[in-house]
Amino acid sequence: DAGVTQSPTHLIKTRGQHVTLRCSPISGHKSVSWYQQVLGQGPQFIFQYYEKEERGRGNFPDRFSARQFPNYSSELNVNALLLGDSALYLCASSLGGVGETQYFGPGTRLLVL
């Protein structure tokens, strides 16, 4: 079975630009979460979606937004990019229940110059 897939794998942007990252969950999984991992740190929670509704949001500015589509895939959008947005962006999918295991994709590495 296919795991979580993310695109693109790498991305280079300049300050002030906008970026869209995409994620396809494991078949049958209805929940998608996004995490930001800065070099040398653990992942930090950005958003969780379940059945196309936002279930939770981490401590990130409004420049970050996301949505989930009817097929459960998801997009993460970041506006007005800053140098500090350079990170590995990880998508995880799960069945959506409390305590369910989240399975991660390979990530999108974003570099902001």
Partner 1 sequence: GNSVTQMEGPVTLSEEAFLTINCTYTATGYPSLFWYVQYPGEGLQLLLKATKADDKGSNKGFEATYRKETTSFHLEKGSVQVSDSAVYFCALSGSSGNTPLVFGKGTRLSVIA
Q: Contact residues for partner 1 (CB under 8 A)?
A: 33, 35, 40-45, 48, 55-56, 58, 88, 90, 92, 98-107
From residue 99, give the alpha-carbon distance in Å to each of 30, 57, 63, 94, 95.
14, 17, 29, 10, 10
**Smallest distance, Å, CB 32 to partner 1?**
12
Question: How far is Cα 36 from Cα 66, in angstroms, rounded to an integer?
Answer: 13
C-beta of 49 vs 112, nearer to partner 1: 49
Gap between the Cα atoms of 93 and 28, Å rounded? 10
- Smallest separation, CB 108 to partner 1 (Å): 10
Q: How far is the CB of 36 from partner 1 (least distance, A)?
A: 11
CB nearer to partner 1: pick between 17 and 32: 32
> Can you tell me the distance from the alpha carbon of 96 to that of 19, in angstroms, rounded to the nearest whole number?
27
Of 40 and 84, nearer to partner 1 (C-beta) is 40
